[in-house]
Amino acid sequence: MGSEGKTRSLCVDPLNPCSPIGAMYAAFGVHGGLPLSHGASGCCRFQRMELAKHFQKTVHVPSTLLRDRAAMFGGEPEIEEAVENVFRLYDPEVLVINTTCLSETIGDDLGGIVDRLAIPVGKAVVWASTPGYAGSQLAGYGATVAALIRQLGGSCSADAVEVAKGSGAQSRDAGRLCLLPGWMNPCDVDVAVRYAEALFDEVTVLPDVRGVFDRKSPDDPSVYAPGGTPRDEIERIGECSCGMALGCEATFESSRALCEAAPHAAVEELPLPIGISATDRLIGSLAELSGRPVPAWIARERTQLIDCLMQVADQLYDKRLLICCDADLAEAAALFAVDAGMVPSCVAVGDAASDFEERLRSDGALPDGCEVLAGVDRLAVEEFVAAHPIDLVLGDTRNKRLAARAGAPLVRIGFPVVDRPLSYTRPIAGYQGALSLLQRIVEALCDIEERALAPEDLSISRYF
């Protein structure tokens, strides 16, 4: 769909990666976890390379290597052979099989096939439906986390339910929180976990990509990184007294799976904690669920962010932004921009839920003139930018040429960022992450302003 509502039969540069990439990312977030791509070898290579380029590390993902025969007779023999080989060669604790375009088109009954597999004692196999032609990486991520909960997670006992019902909020201060962090870089997951651990005694993070994607890959592919959610914590997920799901699109299905596994748990669904308003909501919900006061160090972080924002408010006021990234990050980035006094001129995303625009506008924070383009391609975004000047672009690397044509700086956030080393190590979540993002935006605006000046006109000091 073009920006003027004209229908096109061709998609020109989709705005989101495919669903299996999200499945792989979630699978690696389990300790000793390994994804197995059920499809052709080319799909698997492309998908793992997207992760490898973003995190600047080697990523090993085996494939069932479907060929022409499977399109006629089904891929069960290939799955059986691949599973046997993977356990023999790589010995994962949990093997997560995800589908691709080819295997979904064939129509393999993955659940039935997994039930018939010969799985080594003490190991587990989980499967998730993640067709590459439906949904973004957020959908694949969410489907895989939901599958982990439903296929590995045990529900709490009836006695535990009765105790939880009778104890009320007073017992929650010593309870266990299940945090579903949504699609974030490991450094941002760490920020959310740090806030949660300040208010809860025990926090289960699913999936936990810390210690996996922020570490060097072991040279031996049968040796696994130290991070990831332990399997026994997933199996005990039904004992959680509370749940917190961050990012509506990536955690929609997994938050419902959590409610099924822990029917007594209070589960909050929030946007990604990026910016003042969204982080305030996270901290407020954590405090309410735990029944504990907010620690002073969190309040100090917030105060510092407000003070710094006031220092640069004049440079940010009324700056027109294009936000072009995945749906969960776009929602959070739009709120961040409004918090900072900037004007989101356009929020553009690829695949998104039908209520995406409604969620964006529900709190009245977006200006009336902000254009929301959902389910579009990059050509539609370029058509908008050609007719509406912008001052800044927030988004992933693939917005690079678009920003250059618009003469606006690109501040890189989201996935994938493949042209700036170590970008995945810079947090944007929480108050400190918002401060870091604020600094990057101001520096980008200063750079673009000075680029138009002659060397002799450059001022050494901006102030005084």
Digitized pLDDT (tens) for each residue of the chain, 464 residues in all = 444 555 677 888 999 999 999 999 999 999 999 999 999 999 999 999 999 999 999 999 999 999 888 878 889 999 999 999 999 999 999 999 999 998 999 999 999 999 999 999 999 999 999 999 988 999 999 999 999 999 998 655 444 445 444 444 334 434 899 999 999 999 999 999 999 999 999 999 999 999 999 998 888 888 999 999 999 999 999 999 999 999 999 999 999 999 999 999 999 999 999 999 999 999 999 999 999 999 999 999 999 999 999 999 999 999 999 999 999 999 999 999 999 999 999 999 999 999 999 999 886 678 888 999 999 999 999 999 999 999 999 999 999 999 999 999 999 999 999 999 999 999 999 999 999 999 999 999 999 988 888 888 888 877 65
Q: What is the pTM for the complete model shown?
A: 0.93
Buried b (16+ CB within 10 A) or exposed e, 378-404: bbbbbbbbeeeebbbbbbbbbbeebbe
Q: Roughly how many angstroms between the first and final C-alpha of the chain, as a whole number?
A: 50
- Cα separation, 163 vs 167, in Å, equals 6
**Exposed/middle/buried for residue 136 (C-beta within 10 Å: 0-12, 13-18, 19+):** buried
Give the H/E segment covering residue 15. none
Q: Which residues pair with 394 in a beta bridge?
A: 323, 411
pLDDT recorded at residue 453: 84
Amino acid, single-letter form, for residue 395 = G
- Cα separation, 72 vs 69, in Å, equals 5
Buried b (16+ CB within 10 A) or exposed e, 153-167: beebeeeebeebeee
Q: Are 228 and 211 in contact (CB under 8 A)?
A: yes
Alpha helices in 95-136 (DSSP H): 101-106, 110-115
pLDDT digits (tens, 9 = 90+) for 248-275: 999 999 999 999 999 999 999 999 999 9
Sequence-distant (6+) residues with CB within 8 A of 12 are: 377, 378, 379
pLDDT recorded at residue 68: 83
pLDDT recorded at residue 364: 63
The pair phi, psi for residue 287, each rounded to 5°, is -65, -40
Nearest to 24 by CA among 53, 50, 56: 50
pLDDT recorded at residue 158: 46
Q: For Cα atoms 284, 287, 293, give the angle at the middle one, nearest 5 degrees.
A: 115
pLDDT recorded at residue 90: 96
pLDDT digits (tens, 9 = 90+) for 132-142: 998 899 999 99
What does DSSP say about strands 33-38 and 94-99: parallel, antiparallel, or unpaired?
parallel
Domains, the chain = 19-152 (3.40.50.1980), 158-294 (3.40.50.1980), 299-455 (3.40.50.1980)
- Cα separation, 296 vs 175, in Å, equals 21
Q: Are 303 and 401 in contact (CB under 8 A)?
A: no
